[in-house]
Structure 1
C-alpha cells in the first residue's frame, strides 16, 4: 500500500494563488503475505517419538588381562613384570588379536604395619593390556596367556563387530522412524485430522550400550599346565535408536 503527502508554499501570481510543492514524502507499507497462515501452520503440529531396537550376536570378546609381580626391590619387580608382559604381548601378537593396547603400568610399595608403625616390605608391579578376539578362540587364548606369564584376568565382555553394529544402527533408525509415524497416524485417525508434512526430524540416539562384563578379576594360581580350556560363551547385544518427528496437520 502506498501513501503520498504533498506540502508547499503559496504565492500570488496576478489574480491567482498557486501552491508550489517543496517536499515530497513517500510512505511505503509492506505486508508479508501468508505470515498468519505460516504461524498457524507451525502451531498445528504434533510431536511424536519412535523407538527402534535391533539385537545382534556378540561374536567378539573384549579381554583385559595383565601381569602382577611382587618382590623385595623395585628394580627386580619391575624387570620381572616387564619380562612376563613381553612374553604375553608376543603371544597375543602371534594370535593376531585385534585392538591390542596397554591399559595400565604401575609400580607401588607394599607396606606392613607393626605396633602402628608403617614400613615398606617390598614392591608390587603390574602391566595390563586389552584386546579383542573371536569369542570361540577366547578360552584357549586365555589359558595360553596364563602359561606365558599372565596372572590377572580383570574383565571379559562381549561385543559385536563394528560392521554389524553400524548395520544394526541403520535398521534401528528405520524402525524408530516407522514407529513414530505409526503413532502419529493413530492419533490423527482418532481425532479426525489429516497429516500434511513432516516439519522437523530429530535423531535422539542410535547407539549400542556398553557390553556387560563377564569376569571381574580372576587370579591365576597353581600349575598352569593342568588348567583345562576356559569356556567362554557370547550372547546378544542390543542397538537402540530414537527418532522424534514434528508433523503438521
Structure 2
C-alpha cells in the first residue's frame, strides 16, 4: 500500500521522503542581531539684542473720600496716557484699576481713615527710548513703575531659534562622532530626533519712581536663545 508524502520539520531542517532517498534543505534563520544605538543631546545658543522694553507703570493716590481719590486717579491717569500716546507706544492697555478703603488699627479697633486708588497700564516701546519716557511719565503723575523687562521682536526670536537648533544639531553629531570614533565604530543612520527649544526669558528690572534720577539711564543688553536636539543613532 502506498503512503502519501508527509513533510517533517526538525530543528529548522525540512526533510522530504521521495522513494528510497531523503532530501534535506536548511530553513530560514530565526534570529537577528539586535540593533545597537547611541543617544546624544546637543545644545546650541544664539545671542540677540533686546530691542523692545515691556513696561508696566501707574498711579497710586490716597485721600479722605472715595470720590476725591477716584477723581485724582483719573486726572493723573489721563495725563500719563496722553504722554504715552504722544510717544507712540505700542500694545497700550489698562492692566489694573482699583479703589479700596484704607484702615488704621488703634486699641484693637479698625478705623476708616480714607481710600486708596490705583490705575496701572502696560505698553511696549523701543528699548533705546524707554529712559526718557519713564521720566516723562513720572513728571505727568506716575508714582509706581511696577515692571520693566526687555525682549525682542518675534521674527528676531524665531530666526535665533533656528540658528540655535542648527548649532545644537551640529553639537549632537560631533558628540556621536567622537564617541563612536574612539570605539572604532561607524555610525549607520539616525533612528530618532527630538527637539527642545524655548523663547528667551525676558530680562526683568524693578524700579521705584521715587528713586529715579533726573535722567534715567536704561541699558537693555542681550538675550540668550537656547535649543537642544536629542539624536538616537544606530551603529
Task: Determine if the TM-score, normalized by the shorter chain, exceeds 0.5.
Answer: yes
**TM-aligned CA distance change 1:35 to 1:233, over 3 Å:** farther
* Matched residue SS, 1:229: coil
Please tell me the root mean square deviation across aligned C-alpha atoms, in Å. 2.4
The offset of 1:35, in angstroms, is 9.0
User: Displaced runs of 4+ in structure 1, greater than 6 A?
Assistant: none
* Matched residue SS, 2:34: helix
Q: Which residue in the other structure is 2:44 paired with?
A: 52
The offset of 1:203, in angstroms, is 0.6
Structure 1: state its 5+ residue gaps: 6-32
Deviations 1:42-89 (A, max 9, x none): xx1111100001111111222111011111112221222122212212
The offset of 1:36, in angstroms, is 5.3
Superposed counterparts of 1:1-249, under 5 Å: 37=32, 40-41=34-35, 44-209=36-201, 211-214=202-205, 216-220=206-210, 228-249=214-235
Q: Distance in 2 between matches of 1:61 and 1:54?
A: 20
Q: Distance in 1 between matches of 2:117 and 2:40?
A: 55
The offset of 1:127, in angstroms, is 1.0
**TM-aligned CA distance change 1:36 to 1:208, over 3 Å:** farther
Q: Distance in 2 between matches of 1:99 and 1:152?
A: 19
Deviations 1:7-45 (A, max 9, x none): xxxxxxxxxxxxxxxxxxxxxxxxxx99954x823xx11
How many pairs are equivalent?
211
Instruction: Compute the TM-score of the two structures, normalised by the length of structure 2.
Output: 0.82
Bigger shift: residues 126-135 or 174-183 = 126-135
The answer on whether the counterparts of 1:207 and 1:241 sit within 8 Å (CA) in structure 2 is no
Deviations 1:217-243 (A, max 9, x none): 41338xx9xx62211111111000011
Structure 2: state its 5+ residue gaps: 7-27
Instruction: Compute the TM-score of the two structures, normalised by the length of structure 1.
Output: 0.77
Q: Distance in 1 between matches of 2:30 and 2:98?
A: 68
Deviations 1:114-157 (A, max 9, x none): 11211110110111111111122111111111122211112222
